[in-house]
Chain A
């Protein structure tokens, strides 16, 4: 039955009636059909459809069972210079009901005829969701000269062979179910919007359903489901296969894959399939988003970031096939990241594993571990560099024989010590990419991190393997340590590290021996290039989902060298590290290293005695620990024996990092390690170290409006991006003292990029060569950097942005205040400052502070108008450092309390942010040293 196209009825939530228009085009059967499209450039009195957009057109192609409505936010805010056109497929939305079945090939053809009728002859960026993906890609291959970019979100072009089709789709496709679920009832239609996370307002769900009010109007919903080629002889299977096979023709086209990982239909598996077919793609996973990404993620915001960065504008800017596009453009001459940001050429590099095999240290201890639990003689266990080098070589060969390829990702869920060192350096020599996720992220955080990184292999100790099986972490499993047989079966453990080392030794055929770095090696592929990817680390996740951070070999090598330079580390040094990242660098630095007897995932378990024993076992000169660990060391220092104190007196440098270190703690530690200079490196997961300060300097500079983190270490440059009136770091980079803004860092050891967070990456590296840290502060006249808080924690008042740390420091000096946080409530630009304090003694529950405390807080911070002071039993802090306050959460709680309650309040639905510049607490993850 044919029903003509019509305009949507008025009053659809969020849909501007001015966008709607009906367009007539001849279809593949030479029949005139009428389409409903949304068009951002339809204005009264213009020749509709004749005009060619000045810049180009974003062509939005919806899936099943949605309609162009899904793209309303893109229409409401088109990327600058772009027209946005969103179509309703024939028989879908408000387009004509043709009464015909329109399989994939026909729909691709239909779309081409429509764009011809629309006169879209300029550059086109396709934006497609779900079934819109194959249709849009079909259009792109047919209009290769016009395609300026492709944005795909939760779609697929191929059913991976090793996995069944999504069960939701298979059940909907059952002949008995199909008509009932998709056409006769609105079950499929309503189910699609029910998938959205967080759940959609009723008005939006109704809007999605509005064009599909009857079984007749829903016929094509069933048609789309019927067209899913689950069987190889399905008529559309060949079309889809052909299309999937031709995606290489889009090699020169910028592609963004924007993904909702909670999608029960198009899981990450389909993302990985598309990534393999479109290797040039930028990938951004929107944590928390489900299938209906146009609702769950901020598509419009992502386009605002991505299109200007990747899609060149203008009629001559169409990419030629094979050319990589998109140098970001800047209006003003950028502050050049100088020599610091350039790494040495490939020829001069020293690979990470090189120091292991140098003959002069073959008999020197490389790794020392605390005594084995059953050892009554309490003898530390020791491995020489020679032994370590042999094991590394063997494991690299064993891993390779097991199927680990250069470029594969290997999750390393092994605590610091000899086994982890062997694994890391073996992976690096082999060219595999280590994924290092901290148990401090918790099971949920680890699951998210590992799903995002998607390692091909997972190496874990029994506890990690059990979690991997229970939480279905990705990767073929390799056991570390002793893995009980039952667990090997239940967690599908294929092999253990010990077995692989043994196998490797057989392959390299000369027993324990030096790691051959420069000689040809039958058992191993050539060493990875300096530019090969080496590691993925994760941010602490204290203010949002942890972000994966990708490092290349040259960047890790530069980090090793930066540490060596900053702390004058030589062959005579020995390192005790209670802080995971640094424990790993001992072998690369060619020095003996040891992790003291502690649970590294819980730094506060480090006792003074355990630290002293490790220092004694290694005659350590360097100690590295987090503030939480050092706090406990200071607390337990009284238990030290005389010989332990003597051992600690040999330490020359004490380094404390990961979170702000109170000077008072450093002073207390001076009694424990009397000869040591107390240093505090400042940095972040994305670049460490950036700067350094010692206790003497901390005391000399005195208090300020934040934490002084010192001067940059050699090879690192810092510049400031000044804040605008609303607290956004929009200013061009400057180095003038006294200007407060976002701290930007250039160094050869800055991260390569965020992993599968392309939009976040564009934000963080929008000044080429510079990493935006997300920390805020000024440089002082002596070139020292001060950190006044996180960009995401700025309080945006009518009088301008206010940074929290200085306020907190002064409030924490008030008697009975244990910890303080300054947060903003209210809209950006007119926020009020609220101070939340944990008092000692603690109150029973969150409440307004008594007037006397309010008065004291206000007089401690006279220059800021403080609207309210709240007292709480405890401030929420991060798991890893126990010191980064979750100000975002405190701000929400304060806002809720101080809003009072009406008798009928409405709540707004949050949306996962992908492109928010500065309000997003997930960007960067530094935090004071």
Chain B
């Protein structure tokens, strides 16, 4: 199968591209900066082809999409910093280009990689189903633009085998987003629990997320899949305190002991966001109001339907995942 993977510079995009190539698919990757995958030969398939360009550039996208049998669309702007316009450009315009090109070129399958935050307005999610993307009540530019993007993508289900996959907190060796930040803060002695860290949270070991995206691509035209949005995770929620402690332990660091009440963290996060905006900083602030609430409320999901629909099961349990993470740190690979 010929597959376009957009946004292959991130951990999940890169691993997905490699996984597809290893099983013999003809993979093209598209993103702004080189992914390091160009020309990589993984397994039986031909070397990975790389196209560089803006995901919202119609011409670039149309040419990359031409001739493909499937698309895994991961390219997005993430985080909390940036103007609404910047988020709209990457997430909404980018998705619009991918969807229209797929329509125009009759690409039969599109896996739109979304996020659980498109349907989340801050209440605890306990064994939840994947609700409809909500562009009104979601919080922040990222979640709102991703919500709109998911709506646009799923709208194309009339013509294409489209499915939206929302991986919940992907982590693993080489992950700079979750693991990288936690370890950096722990090393700096600035990692604290919000409240007692007792909220149960789903996470997804990266290999399982890759498998799920590949399975979604294979089953995108199935009746049980087409036009649907699914949250995927390891199906093993853990408390925030345990997750932080295990990540720290894997990196050879002590577990966090400091605690911050939610109210303080929430107010501090809001202040940091204002400060960052005023200073025009482009990195993420250490705490945001959204993150504070996320870390203090349960988020875990009913995985039964998605597993049946995608014919997918996580292969790597959390315990093994943490062992792999520890081995990776021990090998000094994060240096």
Contacts and interface: CB of A to CB of B under 8 A. Distances in A.
Interface of A: 798, 825-827, 829-832, 847-848, 851, 854, 858, 865, 867-868, 895, 897-906
A86 B237 CA distance: 45
Contacts of A829: 302, 304
Which 6 residue pairs of A and B lie closest in terms of their CB atoms, listed nearest first? Answer: A900-B199, A826-B127, A827-B127, A899-B124, A900-B297, A830-B302
Nearest to A828: B127
Nearest to B249: A851
A62 B137 CA distance: 39
A829 B195 CA distance: 29
B122 interface: yes
A848 B198 contact: yes
Contacts of B303: 798, 830
A851 B247 CA distance: 12
B178 to A, nearest CB: 18
Given A826-B127, A832-B200, A903 B236 contact: no
A832 B197 CA distance: 17
Contacts of B198: 848, 868, 897-898, 900
A695 to B, nearest CB: 39
A902 B296 contact: yes
B126 A851 contact: no
26 contacts: A798-B235, A798-B302, A826-B126, A830-B127, A831-B127, A832-B127, A848-B196, A848-B197, A848-B198, A851-B246, A851-B249, A865-B236, A868-B238, A897-B196, A898-B198, A898-B199, A898-B200, A900-B124, A900-B198, A900-B199, A900-B200, A900-B240, A900-B296, A901-B195, A902-B297, A903-B262
Point out which of A826, A865, A899 has the most chain B C-beta atoms below 10 A from its C-beta: A899
B302 A867 contact: no
B28 to A, nearest CB: 36
Contacts of B316: none
B255 interface: yes
Contacts of B195: 900-901
A152 to B, nearest CB: 39
Nearest to B240: A900
Contacts of A865: 235-236
Nearest to B239: A868
A873 to B, nearest CB: 16
Given A832-B237, A848-B198, A851-B245, A826 B300 contact: yes
Point out which of A829, A830, A831, A854 has the most chain B C-beta atoms below 10 A from its C-beta: A830
Contacts of B237: 832, 867
B63 to A, nearest CB: 43
Point out which of A847, A848, A854, A906 has the most chain B C-beta atoms below 10 A from its C-beta: A848
Contacts of B293: 902-903
Contacts of A905: 123-124
Contacts of A903: 122, 262, 266, 293
Point out which of A827, A865, A902 has the most chain B C-beta atoms below 10 A from its C-beta: A902
Interface in B195-212: 195-200
Nearest to A798: B304
Contacts of A851: 242, 245-246, 249, 255
Contacts of A897: 196, 198
A847 B246 CA distance: 18
Main SS of the interface on chain B? mixed
A456 B302 CA distance: 53
B92 interface: no
Given A798-B303, A904-B123, 7 more contacts: A825-B200, A827-B126, A827-B302, A848-B242, A854-B242, A867-B236, A897-B198
B298 interface: yes
A825 B126 CA distance: 8
A905 B122 CA distance: 9
Contacts of B246: 851
B200 to A, nearest CB: 5
Nearest to B128: A827
Interface residues of B, number: 34
A868 B124 contact: no
B297 A901 contact: yes
A848 B256 CA distance: 14
Point out which of B126, B235, B300, B302 has the most chain A C-beta atoms below 10 A from its C-beta: B126
A76 B145 CA distance: 37
Contacts of A906: 123
Nearest to B193: A848
Given A826-B300, A848-B198, A867-B200, A899 B126 contact: yes
Contacts of B240: 900
Contacts of A831: 127
B217 interface: no
Contacts of B302: 798, 827, 829-830
Nearest to B197: A848
Contacts of A899: 124, 126, 199-200, 297-298
A858 B296 CA distance: 24
Nearest to B125: A899
A906 B303 CA distance: 24
Nearest to B236: A865
B296 to A, nearest CB: 5
Given A830-B302, A898-B200, A904 B122 contact: yes
Contacts of B319: 858
Contacts of B101: none
B241 interface: yes
B122 A902 contact: yes
A847 B197 CA distance: 10
A897 B237 CA distance: 14
Nearest to A854: B242
Nearest to A829: B304
B236 to A, nearest CB: 5
Given A847-B196, A848-B242, A868-B239, A901 B304 contact: no
Interface in B225-264: 235-242, 245-246, 249, 255, 262
Contact of A902 (B123, B241, B255): B123
Contacts of A867: 200, 236-239
A310 to B, nearest CB: 36
A867 B303 CA distance: 15
A898 B124 CA distance: 10
Contacts of B266: 903
Contacts of B262: 901, 903
Point out which of B237, B262, B297, B298 has the most chain A C-beta atoms below 10 A from its C-beta: B298
B24 to A, nearest CB: 32
Nearest to B318: A865
A827 B302 CA distance: 9
B126 A895 contact: yes
Interface in B292-328: 293, 296-298, 300, 302-304, 319
B122 to A, nearest CB: 5
Nearest to A826: B127
Contacts of B245: 851
Given A825-B200, A902-B296, A848 B239 contact: yes
A628 to B, nearest CB: 33
A142 to B, nearest CB: 49
Nearest to B262: A901
Contacts of B196: 847-848, 897
B198 to A, nearest CB: 5
A510 to B, nearest CB: 73
A865 B318 CA distance: 10
B318 to A, nearest CB: 9
A894 to B, nearest CB: 9
A829 B235 CA distance: 13
A41 to B, nearest CB: 30
A478 to B, nearest CB: 53
Contacts of A825: 126, 200
B122 A868 contact: no
A906 to B, nearest CB: 7
A827 B196 CA distance: 23
A158 B148 CA distance: 63
Contacts of A901: 124, 195, 262, 296-297
